[in-house]
Structure 1
Amino acid sequence: MALENPTGSLTTTIDNTIATVEFSHPASNSFPRKLLDALTEKLNELSVNAGISVIILRSEGTAAFCAGASFDELLAVSNQEEGTQFFSGFANLINAMRKCSKIIVGRIHGKAVGGGVGIAAACDYAFATIDSSIKLSELAIGIGPFVIEPAVSRKIGKTAMTEMTLAATEWKNTDWAQDKGLYAKVLENQVELDIDIAHFTTKLASYNPEALVQMKKIIWEGTEDWDALLLKRAAISGELVLSDFTKNALGQFKKQ
């Protein structure tokens, strides 16, 4: 089953009790709001599907895993309500990932920036390749990783999150990301990546489904306030995106 439109695509395939959800966008797998909403809806749908035990979350292609928010939509924001609404898309997605009753395994095949790092952090277990460097570049465009911060800090710690955020133009390599806990395993290439993911998810799907559901609840204990927290953070970003600094910075990034 697939959603296809000019703002990206979302495809879901099911093999036994393993669902693979793949998102795609021509601009380095970035997320316009419509694609964020589609992925959120799909995860909510799979969460209540008794025939699914495990979800593999991946993106299309061989280049970037995810470039974060759509620059075109950020530039189009004209008031705080629109800005808050856009960033609430990431808030809703991360909340859907944490509340999903299924274990979500991330397939991070390339670089992740901003919201892409947040998505990787919100996966319950993430595999990556040696090409999967990460960067939180939000401060460089006048905003900050406010919505995704709880997910990133929960996975790699507040100190590492701060280091990434303040060094907004610096890439962190996969060794760093694995050492901090973002990636559970790093493979040499995508062929090895897919072999390991297939083995891991097949084994995982063979376990007692109810045990997996209960384990998922335990993994995310202590995040019950995120429904309100992430929307509050979205409002911060929604206001900052209207600043002249951010509008100018986004314009310069688009010219690069």
Structure 2
Amino acid sequence: MAGELLVEHRGSVLWLTLNRPERHNAINGAMTAALVEALGEASTDKSVRAIILTGAGERTFCSGADLKDQSSMFASAGGSNPIGNVLRAIQACSKLVIARLNGSALAGGLGLVAACDLAYAADHAKFGLPEVRVGVFPMMIATRLTRQIPERRFREMAYLGDTIGTGEAERYGLINRAVPAAELDTLIQSVLDKLMLGAPGAISAGKQALSEMQDMPQAERLAFAERMIATLGGSTEAREGRAAFAEKRKPGWVLSGDEV
């Protein structure tokens, strides 16, 4: 359905807004397909430096899968899971995906938060895994959250349907920071301003490297890092960065960056 995902370019930043506030921004098949498409297109769009993923309204970022669309949300003809496809798309996207949490993130919505590269929340947000209360289990979300939330706490949340607040979420590293809702956009802007000072190619390469190194043995990880830094060190960006440092000027990617 048109309008379920709002796609807006604001300078060099792509804003993706889950736009079903009447359903607490619950994810349905159309929304997952639109998210995968938008993330894929942004990944190859040189004009996009970062992606903001947020929800419409002030109460809920995303309440998870729409249970009224369960025939398509728990499986697909090809055997893949629609929310799983979004998690893959976020990970594969060459641009940083930043969660702007206007409200609570539950079930699959919490999975989206865990998949994003950075996450910032309004301090009234809650985070929870209520799936067992409707007869399922947070299978897809577990693939991300078991790396972020201590195992005992994750099990408690998953088995009991518990929720946590922003304080606990920040302690676990599930979100980077929480602020009063009125300050959220100021925080997001400050993050974007800092991000634009970094070399886009280096950031993209770093995101890919961090993902690939995650499950490597230490020796393999070090060898991989050596190859990556050698490639980056000889790149056009790195040469420009060194020249700008020596000449005490801003590098070209800052000068040419759009307003965010």
- Structure 1: how far apart are the matches of 2:74 and 2:101? 28
The alignment yields a C-alpha RMSD, in angstroms, of: 1.9
2:175 maps to: 183
Look up the SS of the partner of 1:62 in the other structure. coil
Show the 5 A alignment for 1:2-41.
5=2, 9-25=4-20, 26-41=22-37
TM-fit CA distance, 1:156: 2.4
- Structure 2: how far apart are the matches of 1:171 and 1:156? 13
Report the AA paired with residue 200 of structure 1.
Answer: V
- Structure 2: how far apart are the matches of 1:90 and 1:163? 22
TM-fit CA distance, 1:50: 1.1
2:159 maps to: 166
- Structure 1: how far apart are the matches of 2:15 and 2:197? 16
Report the AA paired with residue 11 of structure 1.
Answer: L
Deviations 1:82-133 (A, max 9, x none): 8421971101000000111001111011111100100011110100011111
TM-fit CA distance, 1:150: 1.1
2:69 maps to: 73
TM-score between the two structures when normalised by the length of structure 1: 0.78
TM-fit CA distance, 1:198: 0.7
Report the AA paired with residue 174 of structure 1.
Answer: T
TM-fit CA distance, 1:164: 1.3
- Structure 2: how far apart are the matches of 1:101 and 1:160? 31
1:248 maps to: none
TM-fit CA distance, 1:165: 0.5
Look up the SS of the partner of 2:5 in the other structure. strand
Which of 1 and 2 has higher RCO (CA within 8 Å, sep 6+)? 1
2:246 maps to: none
Q: Which runs of 4+ in 1 moved over 4 A?
A: none
- In the superposition, relative to structure 1, how do residues 172 and 206 fare at CA in structure 2: closer, same or farther (>3 Å)? same
Given that residues 23 and 59 in structure 1 are in contact (C-alpha distance below 8 angstroms), is that contact kept between their aligned partners in structure 2? Answer: yes
- Structure 1: how far apart are the matches of 2:73 and 2:65? 14
In structure 2, the gaps of 5 or more residues are 216-260
- Structure 2: how far apart are the matches of 1:148 and 1:72? 20
Counting aligned pairs with the same residue, the percent is 27
Given that residues 7 and 16 in structure 2 are in contact (C-alpha distance below 8 angstroms), is that contact kept between their aligned partners in structure 1? Answer: yes
- In the superposition, relative to structure 1, how do residues 85 and 157 fare at CA in structure 2: closer, same or farther (>3 Å)? farther
TM-fit CA distance, 1:223: 6.5
In structure 1, the gaps of 5 or more residues are 225-256
Structure 1 residue 119 corresponds to structure 2 residue 115: no
Report the AA paired with residue 211 of structure 1.
Answer: A
2:188 maps to: 197
- Structure 1: how far apart are the matches of 2:139 and 2:192? 31
